[in-house]
Copies of this chain bind each other. A is one copy, B any other.
């Protein structure tokens, strides 16, 4: 349906790479929905071009330009920069329903069925499971909701300093009101959970639909030996074992096969760092 879209966000070139892999993973699994990338003003021109050839729509979001309410709220809470940018997804009112996905997520199968859910549907956060994780959520664009969110955010702030805190305080009946708004955890499988309860991952993990590389270390912080088909150096980082090697490899295979060529075309003769 053309009035439904997957939406992601990248405020810099690193997260933009994540967004490209996410976009290609959605395409690979034949989504029938539109793909939208929100980007910050600092994303480089060739990156924007590459995003443009994967996504249906690339919107530059500059929160300081985004109207009085946002501006006022932002003045009060300069710490919540990226959070404000993420909330901007509610202004995509030319869509009737959207699914937001963090740029550090990777789709493993078609997930268009998520559009059957209502706002605000999300999967539990493994850290505090009465909170939802804001890396994947179903929402209904609305300028009214957007303004309420910004006002809320400006007044109350965020208990965790990010969008997840704000969204959980705003949609504060998620844990108790409606089970259909609980997305199964396999739609937002954090790589950290794999190791915290390995038997459950072995029992249920094979059905995973979305992997979320939550935490400090992201797939693009590694590098890849395309010749050998191996991720380099993941035994060298301090957080070793945090990212599941199979999913990490999957991310890099998709990057190498479906994103690199697009980036190379976009950068043309300009040399660029393949990661």
Give the interface of A toward B (CB within 8 A). Answer: 123-131, 159-161, 165, 175-179, 182, 184-186, 193, 196-197, 199-204
Beta-carbon nearest neighbor of A200 in chain B: B128
CA distance A227 to B184 in the complex (A): 50
CA distance A22 to B124 in the complex (A): 29
Q: Which of B123, B125, B200 contacts A160 (CB 8 A)?
A: B200
Q: Which of B123, B126, B128 contacts A127 (CB 8 A)?
A: B126
Measured between C-beta atoms, what is the minimum distance from A144 to chain B in Å?
Answer: 26
Q: Using Cβ atoms and an 8 Å threshold, which residues of chain B touch A200? A: 125, 127-128, 131, 159-160
* Listed A/B pairs (19) with beta-carbon separation below 8 Å: A124-B130, A125-B129, A125-B197, A125-B200, A126-B129, A127-B200, A128-B185, A128-B200, A128-B201, A130-B184, A130-B185, A130-B204, A131-B197, A131-B200, A159-B199, A159-B200, A160-B200, A165-B199, A176-B179
Beta-carbon nearest neighbor of A177 in chain B: B179
Q: Are A127 and B197 in contact (CB under 8 A)?
A: yes
CA distance A101 to B57 in the complex (A): 52
CA distance A152 to B225 in the complex (A): 47
CA distance A183 to B201 in the complex (A): 23
Residue with the highest number of chain B CB atoms closer than 10 Å, among A178, A200, A201, A204: A200
Q: Which of B126, B128, B175 contacts A128 (CB 8 A)?
A: B126
Measured between C-beta atoms, what is the minimum distance from A138 to chain B in Å?
Answer: 16
CA distance A196 to B127 in the complex (A): 5
Q: Using Cβ atoms and an 8 Å threshold, which residues of chain B touch A201? A: 128
CA distance A93 to B159 in the complex (A): 45
Q: Using Cβ atoms and an 8 Å threshold, which residues of chain B touch A177? A: 179
Q: Using Cβ atoms and an 8 Å threshold, which residues of chain B touch A161? A: 199
Q: Are A176 and B185 in contact (CB under 8 A)?
A: no
Measured between C-beta atoms, what is the minimum distance from A174 to chain B in Å?
Answer: 10
Measured between C-beta atoms, what is the minimum distance from A94 to chain B in Å?
Answer: 32
Beta-carbon nearest neighbor of A131 in chain B: B200
Measured between C-beta atoms, what is the minimum distance from A159 to chain B in Å?
Answer: 4
Q: Using Cβ atoms and an 8 Å threshold, which residues of chain B touch A204? A: 128, 130
Q: Are A184 and B175 in contact (CB under 8 A)?
A: yes
Beta-carbon nearest neighbor of A179 in chain B: B179
Measured between C-beta atoms, what is the minimum distance from A14 to chain B in Å?
Answer: 24
Q: List 8 tightest A-B contacts by C-beta distance, closest first.
A: A127-B197, A128-B200, A124-B129, A160-B199, A129-B129, A159-B203, A130-B185, A179-B179
New A-B contacts (13) at CB < 8 Å, excluding given A159-B200, A159-B202, A175-B182: A124-B129, A124-B130, A125-B129, A126-B127, A126-B196, A127-B193, A128-B204, A129-B185, A130-B186, A175-B185, A178-B179, A179-B179, A179-B182
